Structures are given as structure tokens and as C-alpha cells.
């Protein structure tokens, strides 16, 4: 597996080791860090399908998180290897929806439904280019 993870069966998977800096005083992953893990998963998914953030920025296009519904199911702790799974669900106009799960030993410890929107540098919605939609892995 590369640093960007891998795509198989329409699912992007990225392994992440839980470091001390990811935990709180209890030794469990601090809740906000699951969001960071998912951000890495989204970024690496785009990178693997050939979509570079810098190239989008040169076109004054940016992805923002429009909506996120989270479910914290179980804790992970220091030295665990978690796998962020990212699945493309649907797209329309300026947004698309992803399902993301953080897995530990084949068990979901965190799940998020994420709606991303594409905006320009003024923050106005922009239709997602067809080449980006076509590049997204399908399940």
C-alpha cells in the first residue's frame, strides 16, 4: 500500500497509526482527531484518482465541508492502526456526499456522512467538473 492508501472495490482505504499526540489524557483518541483522520482519507482519495488540491486552487476551486453527521462508536488508542475507509455515495451540482468510517480490526469505531461543496475563492458554489466526478471511485 502506498502513502496515499489504495482503492479497491470502489472503497479508498488509508492506514493511520494512532500516535500519542492523537490521544487525550485517558489514552484514547481525542474525538476531534477522528475528523482529521477522515480529512486525510478524503485528501488521499482525491490524490489517488489524480485530483490535486494545488491544481484546483490554480482554477480558484476549493472543496469545503458543508455538512457532517458523526457517530462515535468505540475508542481507539495509542499505537492502534486504524483504517479510514472512504466511499463516494452521490453527487449533484456543487456537492457530493461521502461515507467515511474509521475501522479498527474490521470494526467501525467512527462513522461520518460527509457532504462536500465546491466553491470559488469568493465562497460561491461552483458545479463540480465532470472530470472530478468521473474520477471518483464507484462501489
- Spell out a b/e string for 50-75, using b for 16 or more CB atoms within 10 Å of the CB, else e: ebeeeebeeeebebeebeeeeeeeeb
Which of 24, 60, 71, 79 is the catalytic position?
24
Sign of CA dihedral 136, 80, 102, 125: negative
Q: How far apart are the C-alpha atoms of 48 and 39, rounded to whole Å? A: 14
Whether 24 is catalytic: yes
Instruction: Give the active site residues.
Output: 24
Amino acid at each position: 500500500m502506498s502513502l496515499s492508501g489504495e482503492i479497491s472495490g470502489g472503497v479508498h482505504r488509508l492506514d493511520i497509526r494512532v500516535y500519542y499526540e492523537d490521544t487525550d489524557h485517558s489514552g484514547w483518541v481525542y474525538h476531534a482527531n477522528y475528523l482529521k483522520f477522515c480529512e486525510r482519507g478524503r485528501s488521499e482519495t482525491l490524490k489517488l484518482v489524480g485530483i490535486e488540491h494545488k491544481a484546483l486552487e490554480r482554477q480558484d476551486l476549493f472543496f469545503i465541508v458543508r455538512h457532517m453527521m458523526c457517530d462515535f462508536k468505540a475508542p481507539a488508542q495509542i499505537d492502534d492502526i486504524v483504517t479510514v475507509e472512504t466511499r463516494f455515495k452521490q453527487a449533484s451540482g456543487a456537492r457530493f456526499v461521502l461515507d467515511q468510517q474509521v475501522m479498527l480490526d474490521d470494526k467501525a469505531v467512527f462513522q461520518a456522512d460527509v457532504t462536500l461543496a465546491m466553491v470559488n475563492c469568493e465562497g460561491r458554489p461552483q458545479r463540480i467538473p465532470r472530470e472530478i466526478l468521473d474520477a471518483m471511485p464507484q462501489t
